[in-house]
């Protein structure tokens, strides 16, 4: 698990320190630096073999493409050096990278390890990332080679979540904290279906595979009591159901010690579904999965708050981060950290932190 992250001269931050918990919610207006935090972690993830061997940081790779050096150096940097310090299971790794304005690799200038390197290597191998640009409903989905079939890999856009659900759905879930519904239904497929039903009542995925053409077809049926509807192609069912499916698959199949990075998991989902998604995120965290999510949804936040009040997640296992520009310090990018108590209440509610409902209500009254 990541305990702490320090960025120096990285994109919009001159210096930023973030102390992570288990379930971490990154919020704030657009362009405040939420994605920058996630991107810094992804850069380490996609460059793992390089930086461990004292080689460069890749700005373009498996998880992210940030352009070239001049795209990520803080514009008011006083020195041509970018720093990323990270604490994993209380083991500190400090990296300093040379600035190459026109290149998409940054040579490693200096690396310091204080603790167990093996923890760092193992953590990187357990990163799962789903971008905001997840795969949309399609008539057919491609099936990858045997390596992807055997591994727990969803693709950064969720493009392999359907094949994972088809070929691994019969396996028992590893994190019992996410279990809901019938106690006898403990497989990944059962629990994905149960959580989808909470997010969009009655819906159930139906997957068929043609290995000769290496394609999969995704359909949905609706269950009402003991009755089932016909199966409908994903392109003819609500867009948001397919868009959220990889998020549900990733959270349900996650195991203790995994880290899941999510961008806007609430996209195209109605408010009830967003809240239930928050409860699923909290459940995954309660089972030892570290989740770092960027969101603009007060409903997702409220789902996490409700889970805390119900005693399903310790408030100490939550971290809230509100990114903003400080007008009193030349509009530097900073972060505030409201604290959640056992009743799901916050110790402070900064201006701009999910307050638009109240602002609109004041104008309506």
Cite the residue boundaries of each domain of the chain with CATH code 3.40.50.300: 1-126+257-365
- Token look-up 């579904």 returns 273
Backbone φ, ψ for residue 266 (5° rounding): -80, -5
- Cα torsion angle, 352, 357, 358, 361, sign: positive
Q: What is the pLDDT of residues 304-352, one digit of tens each?
A: 999 999 999 999 999 999 999 988 787 889 999 999 999 999 998 888 8
User: What does 63-123 look like in DSSP terms, one character per residue?
Assistant: S-B--SHHHHB-TT-SSSEEEEEEEETTEEEEEEEE--TT-SEE-EEEEEEES-HHHHHHH
Q: What is the pLDDT of residues 125-167, one digit of tens each?
A: 899 999 999 999 999 998 876 555 667 889 999 999 999 999 9
pLDDT at 170: 94
Query: pTM above the 0.75 mark?
Result: yes
Question: Residue 208 burial by CB count (10 A; 0-12/13-18/19+): exposed, middle or buried?
Answer: exposed
Q: Which residues pair with 88 in a beta bridge?
A: 2, 91
Domain spanning 1-126+257-365 has what CATH number?
3.40.50.300
Identify whether the C-beta of residue 128 lies closer than 8 Å to the C-beta of residue 258. yes
Query: Considering the chain, what percentage of its residues have pLDDT values greater than 70?
Result: 97
């Amino acid at each position: 698990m990541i305990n702490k992250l320090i960025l120096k001269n990285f994109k919009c931050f001159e210096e930023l320190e973030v102390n992570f918990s288990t379930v971490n919610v990154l919020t704030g207006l657009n362009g405040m630096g939420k994605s920058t935090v996630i991107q810094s972690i992804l850069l380490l993830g996609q460059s793992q073999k390089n930086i461990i061997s004292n080689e460069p940081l890749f700005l373009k790779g498996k998880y992210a493409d940030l352009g070239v050096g001049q795209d990520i150096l803080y514009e008011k940097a006083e020195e041509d050096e970018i720093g990323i310090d990270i604490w994993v299971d209380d083991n500190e790794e400090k990296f300093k990278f040379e600035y190459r304005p026109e290149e998409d690799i940054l040579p490693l200038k200096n690396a310091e390890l204080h603790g167990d390197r093996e923890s760092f290597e193992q953590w990187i191998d357990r990163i799962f990332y789903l971008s905001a640009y997840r795969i949309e409903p399609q008539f057919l989905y491609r099936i990858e080679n045997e390596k992807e079939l055997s591994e727990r890999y969803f693709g950064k856009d969720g493009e392999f979540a359907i094949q994972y659900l088809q070929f691994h759905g019969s396996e028992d879930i590893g994190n019992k904290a996410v279990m809901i519904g019938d106690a006898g239904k403990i497989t990944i497929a059962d629990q994905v279906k149960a959580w989808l039903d909470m997010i969009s009542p009655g819906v159930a995925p139906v997957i068929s595979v043609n290995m000769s053409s290496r394609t999969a077809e995704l359909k949905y049926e609706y269950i009402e009591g003991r009755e089932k509807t016909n199966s409908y192609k994903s392109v003819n069912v609500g867009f948001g159901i397919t868009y959220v499916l990889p998020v549900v698959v990733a959270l349900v199949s996650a195991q203790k010690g995994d880290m899941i990075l999510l961008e806007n998991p609430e996209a195209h989902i109605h408010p009830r579904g967003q809240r239930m998604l928050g409860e699923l995120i909290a459940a995954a965290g309660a089972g030892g999965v570290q989740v770092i999510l960027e969101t603009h949804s007060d409903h997702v936040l409220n789902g996490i708050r409700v889970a805390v009040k119900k005693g399903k997640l310790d408030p100490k296992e939550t971290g809230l981060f509100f990114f903003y520009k400080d007008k009193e310090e030349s509009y530097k990018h900073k972060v505030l950290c409201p604290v959640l108590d056992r009743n799901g209440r916050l110790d402070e509610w900064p201006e701009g932190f999910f307050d638009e409902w109240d602002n609109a209500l004041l104008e309506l009254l």
